[in-house]
């Protein structure tokens, strides 16, 4: 008899979402997380003085109209949302401008814009599939979109994909995100901030899972998935403590935990840490292993600061963007968490989160990362007109793989890896690098729903 009915590896929103749905359906579920707290890329931390900060720059696409909210509702959790952002402020010529004042359209251009928006709002899945392998640049050209309107579209599609160049962006994914926003929020891009930051999503999900009887074990690193023939039967988990010499040599002692169903809620670039990719021994088909190897380097990167100040640097509930920062020359994104939810900072204190969009290799080199952070700091001092003395703290951060699998032509929609492993029984996947549309958190939540539906039938 197996120890559990299901084991889920990774307690980000996808892992928590799948585990909660399985436990709710009556499966005895174990959720394993290598870090000391759940959340994955959505972790929140309470800092001295009353600040709550998230690991990076996060707004959640669609808010209570999206799959993240739907995931919570499915397992009996009602997320509380602070404020919505339904517009975009753009930085140009040394100042921030709202989107309405940035776009100056002739009557002919307005008519074209309305016509295109109606067309996007009416699109269905087959339309997105037709554009998944073509660039957003091609779509813009085909619609004759130019001038300031094109620049706004380029800013929004950069936010949608975390990819600077429209020639590298999947038109299918950009159009899907725009369609959802137009239908549900009457805007091209809408997002919301949960009350209490990302902890306002993760903590209720973790609590609900455990209240259902699910077991969550933190600080538990899975070393490998165990197979019998072509069936997944469990995982080996690194034993706590153990021989310090073995730890140094990275040959840890392990415990076997068994279950007939394994869900890996890990990004594809971490799969080789728990699955054998040697074609001579792996139970997984070689074509699938080759596909994962080919695309696991397709990531996006961010680098920036979480800044706490004694005065508000920006008070509008908007997402801020620029195609190029003054010194780094890289695309820029930002928002002010305290404009959305003042409760994430003590009274009279404010938070701003900024980033540059970078290639992963640019931030993985520590010397280049240091140079970029220095330039980025000077950029944001200029863009928000503050002095070092006004800053309570400034936390640098960087990430490679911030938004899942890069949303490039040929890597979205049905081109993404399926949530079910081919050729073996009992192995599934969930997260924003697998089947499921939508930006970052929204895509991960939708993938969790798809995965659970596939398992439960």
Q: The CATH number of the domain where 332 resides is what?
A: 3.90.660.50
Residue 88 placed within a domain: no
Are residues 77 and 202 located together in one domain of the fold? yes
Domain closes at, from 361, 379, 400? 400
Residue 93 placed within a domain: no
What's the domain range around 350? 301-400
- Note whether 189 and 88 are within 8 A (CB): yes
HEC per residue, 228-250: ECCEEEEEEEECCCCCHHHHHCC
Residue 91 placed within a domain: no
Helical residues (DSSP H) of 265-365, grouped into ranges:
286-295, 337-340, 360-364
Residue 90 placed within a domain: no
Are residues 219 and 242 located together in one domain of the fold? yes
Residue 348 placed within a domain: yes
Are residues 312 and 286 located together in one domain of the fold? no
Mode of pairing for the β-strands spanning 231-238 and 222-228: antiparallel
pTM of the model: 0.95
Are residues 154 and 23 located together in one domain of the fold? no
- CB hemisphere CA count around 382 (13 angstroms): 14
386 vs 407: CA distance, rounded Å: 35
Are residues 259 and 286 located together in one domain of the fold? yes
- The separation between CA 367 and the C-alpha centre of its own chain, rounded to angstroms, equals 26
Angle subtended at Cα 85 by Cα 94 and Cα 16, rounded to the nearest 5 degrees: 125
Would you write out the chain's pLDDT as a tens digit for each of its 457 residues? 799 999 999 999 999 999 999 999 999 999 999 999 999 999 999 999 999 999 888 999 999 999 999 999 999 999 999 988 878 899 988 999 998 888 888 888 888 888 999 999 999 999 999 999 999 999 999 999 988 889 889 988 988 998 989 999 999 999 999 999 999 988 888 899 999 999 999 999 999 999 999 999 999 999 999 999 999 999 999 987 666 776 677 778 899 999 999 999 999 999 999 999 999 999 999 999 999 999 999 999 999 999 999 999 999 999 999 999 999 999 999 999 999 999 999 999 999 999 999 999 999 999 999 999 999 999 999 999 999 999 999 999 999 888 889 999 999 999 999 999 999 999 999 999 999 998 889 999 999 999 999 999 9
Split into its structural domains, the chain has a count of 3
Residues linked to residue 356 through DSSP beta bridges, in sequence order: 303, 332
Are residues 274 and 146 located together in one domain of the fold? no
Domain closes at, from 162, 189, 216? 189
Residues linked to residue 312 through DSSP beta bridges, in sequence order: none
Are residues 360 and 271 located together in one domain of the fold? no
What are the C-alpha distances in Å from 85 to residues 88, 317, 323, 335, 337?
8, 6, 19, 10, 11
Domain closes at, from 359, 381, 400? 400
Are residues 140 and 204 located together in one domain of the fold? no
Beta strands in 253-331 (DSSP E): 254-258, 262-264, 301-309, 319-322
pLDDT of residue 239: 87
Are residues 209 and 131 located together in one domain of the fold? no
Residue 203 placed within a domain: yes
Both tokens of residue 317? Answer: 């509930």
Residue 131 placed within a domain: yes
Are residues 414 and 285 located together in one domain of the fold? yes
Residue 278 placed within a domain: yes
Rounded (10°) angle between helices 136-143 and 147-161: 160
Are residues 117 and 203 located together in one domain of the fold? no
**CATH code of the domain covering residue 30:** 3.50.50.60
388 three-state secondary structure? helix
Return the closest-CA partner of residue 173 out of 119, 228, 213, 136: 136
- Note whether 117 and 110 are within 8 A (CB): no
* 123 φ/ψ angles, rounded to the nearest 5 degrees: -65, 145
Are residues 144 and 208 located together in one domain of the fold? no
Residue partners of 26: CB distance under 8 A and separation at least 6 = none
Mark 199-214 as b/e (b = at least 16 C-beta within 10 Å).
Answer: bbbbbbbbebbeebeb
């Amino acid at each position: 008899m197996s120890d559990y009915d299901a084991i889920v590896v990774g307690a980000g929103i996808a892992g928590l979402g799948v585990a909660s749905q399985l436990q709710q359906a009556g499966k005895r579920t174990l959720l394993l997380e290598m870090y000391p707290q759940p959340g994955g890329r959505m972790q929140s931390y309470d800092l001295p003085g009353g600040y709550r900060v998230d690991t990076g720059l996060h707004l959640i696409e669609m808010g209570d109209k999206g799959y993240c909210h739907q995931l919570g509702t499915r397992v009996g959790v009602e997320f509380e949302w602070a404020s919505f952002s339904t517009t975009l402020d753009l930085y140009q010529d040394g100042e921030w401008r709202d989107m309405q004042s940035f776009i100056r359209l002739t009557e002919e251009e307005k008519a074209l814009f309305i016509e295109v928006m109606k067309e996007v709002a009416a699109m269905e899945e087959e339309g997105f599939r037709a554009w998944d392998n073509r660039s957003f640049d091609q779509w813009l050209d085909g619609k004759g979109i130019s001038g300031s309107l094109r620049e706004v579209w380029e800013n929004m599609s950069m936010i949608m994909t975390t990819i600077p160049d429209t020639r590298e962006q999947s038109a299918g994914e950009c159009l899907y995100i725009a369609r959802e926003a137009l239908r549900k929020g009457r805007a091209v891009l809408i997002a919301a901030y949960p009350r209490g930051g990302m902890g306002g999503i993760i903590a209720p999900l973790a609590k609900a899972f455990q209240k259902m009887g699910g077991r969550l074990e933190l600080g538990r690193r899975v070393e490998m998935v165990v197979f019998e023939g072509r069936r997944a039967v469990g995982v080996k988990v690194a034993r706590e403590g153990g021989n310090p010499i073995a730890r140094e040599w990275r040959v840890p002692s392990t415990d076997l935990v068994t279950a007939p169903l394994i869900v890996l809620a890990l990004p594809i670039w971490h799969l080789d840490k728990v699955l054998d990719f040697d074609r001579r021994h792996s139970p997984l088909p070689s074509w699938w292993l080759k596909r994962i190897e080919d695309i696991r380097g397709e990531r996006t990167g961010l680098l920036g600061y979480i800044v706490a100040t004694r005065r508000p640097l920006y008070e509008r509930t908007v997402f801020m963007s620029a195609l190029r920062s003054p010194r780094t020359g890289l695309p820029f994104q930002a928002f002010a968490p305290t404009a959305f939810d003042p409760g994430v900072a003590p009274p009279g204190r404010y938070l701003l989160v900024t980033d540059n969009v970078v290639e992963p290799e640019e931030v993985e080199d520590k010397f280049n990362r240091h140079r970029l952070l220095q330039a980025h700091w000077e950029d944001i001092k200029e863009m928000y007109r503050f002095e070092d003395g006004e800053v309570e703290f400034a936390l640098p951060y960087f990430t490679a793989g911030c938004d899942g699998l890069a949303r490039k032509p040929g890597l979205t929609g049905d081109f993404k890896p399926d949530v079910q492993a081919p050729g073996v029984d009992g192995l599934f996947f969930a997260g924003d690098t697998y089947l499921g549309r939508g930006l970052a958190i929204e895509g991960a939540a939708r993938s969790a729903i798809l995965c659970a539906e596939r398992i439960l039938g």
